Amino acid sequence: MTFDERLTEICRRLDTRGLDRVVGVHDGAHFIEKPDPVFMLTGFKSLGPCAAVLERDGGTTLVVTPAWDAVRAAQKRPSLRVVAADDVGDGLAGVLEGCVATGSVGLEAAPFGIAQRVAQLIPNAPPVDEIVFGAVHAKIDSEIANAREAVCIAELGYQHLLDIARPGISEDELAVELRWHSKTLGAEDNFVLLCASPHNRAVAPSHGRRLQAGDIIVVELTPSYRGQLVQICRTISVGEASETLRQKYALVAGAMHEGIAAAQPGRPMADVCRAINDVLEAEGYGEFCHPPHIRRRGHGLGFGSIEPGDVALDNQTALEPDMLFMIHPNQYLPETGYLLCGEPVLMTAQGAVPLTAQMATLAEIKL
């Protein structure tokens, strides 16, 4: 599927719903778990708050702030009508002509100051996020190609981490270096969630703690290449790993493989989660297969759309080819603490295929 074909599908859904247009809003704060309808509708990753108006006939208008960034937007996608504005509400007000059936996307997650203004401009517009994001469960060709590039960057970044992680370096220093390093490889961003301790309760943002021998580093490396995120989840022992750690990591990795095997076209996403849980529950870890220890076994990937959603028991989305998502057991075990193990997978007609060249194994840093 191409970008234009996806837009056509969204327009078809608008038509079915009896809507003439949809207004998408985003604040320009690009967070891994916050879908961006403007990026979805225009392919433009903004610096500031922005809005996109998609008409049922396919015509798209992009409202860009700051106004000076409109040149970049116009170059990015020449078919767009680009409106430069210093205030996204003001810009949108000049675009929304006529009294037509309008839906909104992204309003609930937008900052109050922006959302309130937009809501005033399109009163009674129903939220129709499912129309836009429902059409993007599967990735388009360019997103899949970008995901493959991002995976290469992630794996090179992981190798770099193994090269530089030593006792004495702080979590912050590692996270900063990894983010910088991924930019040298072509990633424009990287969600580097990294922490370490002898017994991690979770994976959390880095802070100033310095690595010590005996630590276990858990890391999510999540580079973005041209707006497409992918992630790898890895665990590293600082020094020789204990036999217990090796055994438990093998258990978690085994659960991940079961999850990958369960990801088959037509089956619900919940089955992937259940397959992972089954392995861990059979070993007596049922208590740790639920919050607060774990709330999902993976998730969608992308700054635009995070479909097909979480790898969770309550996600009944049917898997289909060209879906891209993470499968990561990422399990807390009382003997070892939190262990990270996860791969980005692409759904094919034959099932889920990991995009990584080398799947997660427990790594050790020799001291």
Interface ranges with other proteins (CB under 8 A) = 27-32, 45, 47-48, 65-69, 71-72, 107-113, 115-116, 119, 170, 172, 175-177, 179-180, 183-184, 186, 188-193, 195, 201-202, 204-209, 222, 224, 226, 229, 291-293, 295, 303
Least distance to other proteins, CB of residue 330, Å: 11
Least distance to other proteins, CB of residue 33, Å: 9
Reference 10, options 43, 55, 64; nearest CA is: 55
Two tokens at 298? 């993976």
DSSP, res 131: H
Backbone φ, ψ for residue 365 (5° rounding): -100, 115
DSSP, res 307: T
| CA dihedral sign of residues 301, 306, 312, 318 | negative
Question: Whole-angstrom Cα distance, residue 129 to residue 122?
Answer: 15
Least distance to other proteins, CB of residue 38, Å: 14
Bridge partners, 268 (sequence order): 318
Spell out the residues 6+ positions from residue 197 whose beta carbon is closer than 8 angstroms to its own: 209, 215, 216, 337
CB-count burial class (<10 Å; 0-12, 13-18, 19+) for 349: exposed
| CA angle (12 as vertex; 108, 28 as ends), nearest 5 | 30
Q: In terms of CB distance, is 68 or 358 closer to other proteins?
A: 68
Two tokens at 284? 């007596």
Q: In terms of CB distance, is 325 or 332 closer to other proteins?
A: 332
Find tokens 């097909």 and name the residue: 308
Least distance to other proteins, CB of residue 224, Å: 7
Least distance to other proteins, CB of residue 237, Å: 20
Q: In terms of CB distance, is 59 or 111 closer to other proteins?
A: 111
Question: Whole-angstrom Cα distance, residue 266 to residue 71?
Answer: 43
Spell out the residues 6+ positions from residue 302 whose beta carbon is closer than 8 angstroms to its own: 35, 139, 143, 227, 228, 229, 324
Least distance to other proteins, CB of residue 124, Å: 16
CA–centroid distance for 172 within its chain = 22
Q: In terms of CB distance, is 122 or 319 closer to other proteins?
A: 122
Least distance to other proteins, CB of residue 15, Å: 27
Q: In terms of CB distance, is 25 or 341 closer to other proteins?
A: 25
Coil/strand/helix, residue 142: helix
Least distance to other proteins, CB of residue 149, Å: 10
Q: In terms of CB distance, is 71 or 282 closer to other proteins?
A: 71
Residue 297: HSE in the Cβ half-sphere, 13 Å Cα cutoff: 33
Q: In terms of CB distance, is 205 or 334 closer to other proteins?
A: 205
Q: In terms of CB distance, is 61 or 224 closer to other proteins?
A: 224
